[in-house]
Amino acid sequence: MDKSEKKAPLVDGLLKVQANLDAGLKRGLDFADLFRVLTTTTDRMELLNAANRLFSFVVDSDSVLFPKKFEGSDYYLIFMTRLIELSGLKTNLGLETSVEKDHQILLHTWKETDQKFRFEIQNGAANYVDQNSKQTIFSLDLKTKKMSFETDTINDTYFLNKVDNDKVLNAEVELFTKFGHILEDTYDFAVDFNMFETRNNTIYEFEQLGLKTDITDQLFIDSAQNHFTLLNSDGQKGGFLQLNNQVIFSIFQEDSTSDQWAIQITDPEEKYSLFSVFKRYDFLNEWYVRNIQSLKLKMKF
């Protein structure tokens, strides 16, 4: 046996080490290419594809570890930031970076509040969470193309919140719903806008079955005190209010068998949501807050 044959096992081992290093570095380059697309592309389909791939991309290997990586959820935040940017929307969102162990963390801030938002992963989807209240504003799944606004957060943040300015909170709602409409129009997402939906055919169903008569009695009295009349619905339990700008607010028993009740808003231009109607009329807002558990809306998904 010559000397070259004796050294072969050692050389083979080194070549394996080199191959693993090359593969690890290539993985890093692939990651960098995807990240570059996510942060610079003006093509919206490329943007979504890059965010989806990065969400599940594992850049580290046994041979090469990359420090200060982002977590998968942060690619959702970058995607959201870029899509808002590409759509030319005015926003009070700010972007903040911090470091936790071996990860960089991205957060959205909002001017004139202490709110900080971050995506957190749960069951394969990403929840957009207010880091102070720990409440989910909406859930987003780029793979299944679904987005849904959380009823509990709408109630707690946008109705029961006594800390933040209403004008600021309404601006948040406007931006987040516009983001949802962009997802619908651009990528054909299914979006549950919850109380923020403006389409006339939307039926806002209550989570609880049945409705106490004193709740509609309160509405009748509150309406009369504010120069509106709650009229009886034809052919079903419930009533409706004719508000300004040809807006009709209806509360009715949708299904007599299950005793499912609901609210519907209609207007000629499909301009008003249930949320905007509540915020426009103080007596309706106060009536809703007073009965907020009984009137809690059911989420679609």
The predicted-structure confidence for 253-288, as pLDDT tens digits, reads as follows: 999 999 999 999 999 999 999 999 999 999 999 999
- Full-model pTM: 0.89
- Per-residue pLDDT reduced to its tens digit, 5-40: 555 676 777 677 777 776 667 877 888 898 999 999
Identify the bridge partners of residue 266 per DSSP, sorted by sequence position. 248
pLDDT at 19: 73
Other CB atoms within 10 A of residue 115 CB: 21
Buried b (16+ CB within 10 A) or exposed e, 38-73: beebeeeeebbbbbbebbebebebebbeeeebbbbb
For position 29, what pLDDT does the model report?
85
Give whole-number Cα distances, 291 to 50, 95, 212, in Å.
44, 37, 10
CA distance 69 to 164: 33
Which CATH topology does 203-294 take?
TATA-Binding Protein (3.30.310)
Every domain of the chain and the residues it spans: 18-196, 203-294
Q: 23 vs 145, which has greater pLDDT? A: 145
For residue 61, pLDDT over 80 is answered with: no
Share of the chain above pLDDT 90, in %: 71
Q: What are phi and psi of 103, to 5 degrees?
A: -120, 145
Q: What angle do CA 219, 225, 229 make, to 5 degrees?
A: 60
Residue 22, pLDDT score: 66
- Of 1-15, 125-139, 232-246, the one with minimum mean pLDDT is 1-15
94's CB contacts (< 8 A; 6+ apart) are 108, 109, 110, 111
What average pLDDT does this structure show over 145-158?
96
* Of 109 and 8, the one with more pLDDT: 109
Q: Hey, what are 160's tokens?
A: 């029961």
